């Protein structure tokens, strides 16, 4: 082999290694904006001070895990054209009647055509007179005791929202009691152990996070997320991320 041939062979080998490295990196890299999520945080009742922290946390999750985030409190976004671009819509600590009838109809169409819903905390304290929404979120808020530490029993560790957790998850938040128990209509991911805190009113079976396929789309709800500190907790952020990915059809 001549000197020129040896040099050409070395260059070709180096190029092949470089291309292989690029290919391997592209297989594991997520591309920001590969899908889009709408975060909706309009309130017509109590307003949580943690909303800004929640929006920021979801933006950071999007940047790190490959989805774009649009945050709004403008209900006019809820049109067929306005919603179709989003893989999931997050109701982040919404309260009260936040959508007019036409906006409700657009959101129903969105879900029925495969859209995803994520309800966070007081999403269960929203739209009490809209039957479709009540079924979508799974259960409405009834009451809550003071913010305190409690133990969550993780029942399903295969779902992306809970796969990172141990069988028991101890954390501090505002723990909702619900008007109904979702166990017969949704798949429960985690439930509260009422013996570990005061003010629980649902007894031995107190679901706090769940999911289901619903009306053509996907629904995920978590009762956590009242406090600002929730959105700084790595475990809660991973829980929220898994719920978003499920609702967006990424899992």
Distance from C-alpha of 146 to C-alpha of 199, rounded to nearest angstrom: 8
pLDDT over threshold 50, residue 23: no
Structure-token match 């994520």, residue found: 118
pLDDT, tens digit (0-9, with 9 covering 90-100), for 224-242: 999 999 999 999 999 999 9
Say whether 40 sits in a helix, a strand or coil: strand
Domain boundaries, the chain: 36-247
Classify domain 36-247 at the CATH topology level: Rossmann fold (3.40.50)
Structure tokens at 22: 């690029």
pLDDT level of residue 251 (50, 70, 90 thresholds): confident
Distant-in-sequence, close-in-space partners of 16: CB < 8 Å, separation ≥ 6? none
Q: What is the pTM of this model?
A: 0.87
pLDDT at 33: 55
Distance from C-alpha of 114 to C-alpha of 100, rounded to nearest angstrom: 22
Mean confidence (pLDDT) of the chain: 90
pLDDT, tens digit (0-9, with 9 covering 90-100), for 98-144: 999 999 999 999 999 999 999 999 999 999 999 999 999 999 999 99
């Amino acid at each position: 082999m001549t000197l020129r041939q040896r040099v050409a062979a070395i260059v070709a080998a180096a190029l092949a290694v470089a291309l292989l490295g690029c290919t391997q990196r592209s297989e594991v890299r997520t591309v920001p904006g590969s899908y889009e999520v709408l975060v909706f945080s309009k309130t017509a009742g109590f307003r949580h001070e943690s909303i800004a922290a929640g929006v920021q946390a979801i933006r950071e999750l999007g940047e790190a895990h490959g989805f774009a985030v649009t945050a709004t409190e403008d209900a006019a976004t809820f049109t067929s054209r306005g919603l179709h671009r989003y893989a999931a819509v997050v109701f982040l600590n919404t309260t009260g009647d936040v959508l007019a009838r036409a906006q409700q109809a657009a959101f129903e169409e969105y879900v029925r055509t495969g859209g995803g819903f994520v309800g966070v905390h007081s999403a269960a304290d929203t739209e009490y007179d809209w039957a479709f929404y009540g079924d979508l979120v799974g259960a409405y808020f009834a009451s809550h005791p003071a913010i305190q530490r409690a133990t969550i029993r993780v029942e399903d560790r295969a779902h992306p929202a809970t796969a990172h957790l141990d069988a028991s998850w101890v954390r501090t938040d505002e723990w909702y009691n619900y008007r109904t128990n979702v166990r017969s209509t949704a798949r429960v991911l985690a439930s509260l152990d009422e013996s570990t805190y005061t003010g629980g009113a649902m007894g031995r079976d107190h679901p706090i996070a769940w999911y289901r396929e619903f009306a053509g789309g996907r629904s995920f709800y978590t009762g956590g997320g009242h406090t600002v500190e929730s959105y700084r907790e790595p475990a809660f952020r991973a829980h929220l991320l898994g719920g978003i990915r499920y609702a967006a059809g990424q899992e």
